[in-house]
Structures are given as structure tokens and as C-alpha cells.
Amino acid sequence: MIRERTPARAWLVLGGAVVAYLCAVLQRSTLGVAGVAAAQRFDTSAAALSTLGVVQLLVYAVLQIPVGVLVDRFGPKKVIVVGALLMAAGQATVASAGVLPVAVLGRTLVGAGDATTFIAALRLVNAWFPPRRVPVLSQWLGNLGQLGQVLSALPFAAFLGVAGWTPAFLGAAGVSGVAFVVALLVLHDAPAGVPVRSTDLPSALRSLRGALARRGTRLGFWAHFVTQSSGVVFALLWGYPFLVSAVGLPRAEASALLTVQVLTGFLIGPLLGSLTARFPLRRSNLVLAIVIGLAGAWTLVLLWPGPPPIGLLVLLVVAMGAGGPASQIGFDYARTYNPPEGLGGASGFVNVGGFTASFTMMFLIGLLLDVQHDATGAPLYSLGAFKVALSVQYLIVGGGVVGFWLTRRLARRDILRDEGVDVGPLWRAFRSRAAMRRSRPRS
């Protein structure tokens, strides 16, 4: 069999997309390691502090569908370039902020710029690589981009501790300047000779309506909702205060645990991408397996009497690290259920899922911390208060699992009607395969 050769330019474009997304993740996650410093700088409550993260993620989520339409209309390169400029302006605003409202404005700009990057980068992968390679390369895009979280957890956190608030966030703004230059020089919407479709706005909106009507797109939304949110909340805001102030870990160990969460994706992401490509009708089972693992890890941590041991915390961040790559399955649903010209809007809708769950949980955790502090007078970031507040995840993610389950039933009914394929329970598939093996003639 002749293997299809991928041109070098495609790998260069992929590298540029990874750099742009890595820079975006760095901007997104700087607040996660600056939460304690932000509380001291702005002298505010947990609920008020959570508005920094909530507003950022709310803007990100709200803009996902409009950004998807803009990607379909103007192409991914222009969208990424504008996003890099917005993030640089936002971090510069945060650097100069002396009061919370100015910092909120800055994080709003960061959220708007961040919202442009991943959907556009994913569109580049779909444009430059054959469909059979897209699931694995999408995982690599997501995993390599998460190195931005490592950069925020280690060098940014160290620089923040040494240089202070303003120089650290100005440095982060400079990183977005790098992403802007790389996007201008490296990215191109499609290979040479392939016509770039310039979809007019009415056509892009019609494609979006068609995407939202497909059960597969909605299934991708719920897959993203239930797998990504726990890790995002932990990495972007509440994980660092929980580990340092509630559990009592040194700052270096807390940063190391956040790094383990990212590195887990490097190990699990390619495996999930390969399984998704090989068994597309069983993607939902992968999603549910990851959610069960997350629920089990959180249950052990929250029910543990006193501060959980380091081994249990490692198990928790590994489970959350698996949730990030699992959320990419949602985009694979969007890819396989939608035509290329409507993929931007469909992917944007899927991306809304995890971040809607994330900012909801982020705000409720801060609110519950404040309520307990006001009612009992206990320290704001006490271990007991955190355990109660973090339990809100069961309510939010549990509701998402119900939505995922019901949508999967309807999607499987559509597959049976349209393609004549009966996707039964996983146990039935195992039993059928075992029966086929027993019936094979033995030599």
C-alpha cells in the first residue's frame, strides 16, 4: 500500500498552530498560579476573586460560536492574529491593574483573544492533513498546547514570586507578541492550489444552524462538558489555593502537581486519539470511562479524613489530566457529523460545553467558600470549606452526564435509521466478538 506523504509545509503550519495555542493556554492559566497574589493585591473575597476567572471563561464560552462563524467566514489565520493582539492587550491591562475592576477588564480581553485560538488551530489541522490523521494530530495540538500551563506553573510562577505582579504579567503579554509574529509568518489557511472558501455571513449562519440541528454536534458538546471542566477549574483558579492554603503543600510541590496534570495528557492523549480513530462508534464509552475515573478520584480526595496524602493528590491530577485529551473527542464528533464549510461553527459550539461547566463551577466554588466563611468564621481557604465547595462538581458534571446519555441514545437511533448500524451496549459487542472468535476454524 502506498502511503500518502504529508508536505513539509503542513508540519510547519501545525507547528505554528501549536505555538499560537501554547501561548493562549499560557495567558489563560496565569491566573491559576496568581490566585493567592491576586487576593493579596486586590484584598477581596473568594467570590469576588472568582470573577476574574469566571468573566474570562464566560467571555471565552460566549464567543465560541461567533468565533466559529468568523473562522468559516474569514479563515483561521486572521482570527488567530487578532486573538494574539487581544491577549497581549489584556495581559498588559492586568499588569497595570491596581483595583479589581481593571483586572477584570484585562481578563475579559484575554478571554476574548483565547476564544479565537483553538477553534482556528483545529480548522488548520483539518485543512492540511488527511481525515485519518486528524484525530491523533488534534490530540497532539491540544497536548502540546497545554505546555502553556506548564510555563505558567513553573517559570511564570517563579518570575511572579521574584519580580512581582506587573513585570510578570507584562512578560506574559510579550509572549502573545511572539504568537502574533509566528501566526503572521507561518500560518496559511490551506495548502497551495487548494481554493480557500470565503463563506459569506448568511451561508456561515446557515451552516451553523445545520450543525446545531445534528445530534452528533450536541453529543460533542456534552462530551466536552463532562470531561474538561474539572481540570480547567483546578488549573485556572482553585487548584493552587486548594493545594497551598487548604492542603498545606509548599508552592513548588503545588506547581509540580499542576505540571503532572499537563504531562498526563502527553501519555493518554495519543492513545485516546488512536482509539477514537479506530473505534469511532465507541467514542462515548471512552468519555464515560474518563468521567467515572474523575468521579472516583475526587470522591477519594474529598472523603479522606484530613489532608489527602500526596499519592492521592497525584491520582487526582492524573485523572484530571486524562480529562483534557478526552474532551477532544467532542471535536471529533463535530468533525464526523458536519461538512468542512460548517466545521468552525460546530467546533465552537462543542467548545462552549466544557467552558460553560467550568465557569459555572468556578463561581459556585467561590460563592460556597464565602458562605461558609461568613457563617462559621473559619479561615476562607480551610480544608473543610474547600471539600464542601468542590463537591459542587458532582451536581454540574452529573447533569452533563445525563445530557450526554440521552443525546447518545438519540444519536444511535439516528445511526440505526440512516445507516442500518445498531450500536448496542459495549458488553454486547464484547460478547459478539468472543462468539466470533470461538466460531473461527482452528488450524
Distance CA 210, CA 72 (A): 14
Between the CA atoms of 218, 219, 221 and 226, what dihedral angle is there, to the nearest 10 degrees?
A: 150
Q: Within a domain: residue 439?
A: no
Q: Within a domain: residue 430?
A: no
Instruction: Look up residue 242 and give its three cell numbers.
Output: 486548594
Which three-class secondary structure state does DSSP give residue 69? helix
Short-list 105, 117, 88, CA closest to 20: 117
> What domain range includes position 294?
9-189+206-419
Q: What's the chain's Rg over C-alpha atoms?
A: 22
pTM, two decimal places? 0.74
User: 76-96 and 100-128 are packed helices; what angle lies between their axes, rounded to 10 degrees?
Assistant: 160
Alpha helices by DSSP H, 34-133: 35-42, 46-74, 76-96, 100-128
DSSP 10: H
Short-list 61, 62, 119, 122, CA closest to 355: 61
- CA distance readout (Å), 398 to 288, 388, 404: 11, 16, 10
Distance of CA 73 to the CA centre of its chain: 24
Short-list 150, 90, 47, 69, CA closest to 342: 69
Q: Within a domain: residue 442?
A: no
Q: Within a domain: residue 174?
A: yes
Q: Within a domain: residue 4?
A: no
Domain count across the chain: 1
CATH number assigned to the domain comprising residue 134: 1.20.1250.20
- CA distance readout (Å), 145 to 222, 372, 382: 22, 37, 33
Q: Within a domain: residue 427?
A: no
Instruction: Look up residue 26 and give its three cell numbers.
Output: 499560557
In tens digits, the chain (443 residues) has pLDDT values of 344 566 888 999 999 999 999 999 999 888 877 877 887 888 777 777 777 777 888 888 888 888 888 888 888 999 999 999 999 999 999 999 888 889 999 999 999 999 999 889 988 998 888 888 888 888 888 888 888 888 887 888 888 888 888 999 999 999 999 999 999 999 998 887 665 555 666 776 777 788 888 888 999 999 999 999 999 899 878 898 899 999 999 988 988 898 898 888 878 888 888 888 888 888 889 999 999 999 999 999 999 999 999 999 999 999 999 998 899 899 889 888 888 777 777 888 898 898 889 889 988 998 999 899 888 887 888 999 999 999 999 999 999 999 999 999 888 887 777 676 656 665 555 555 544 455 554 44
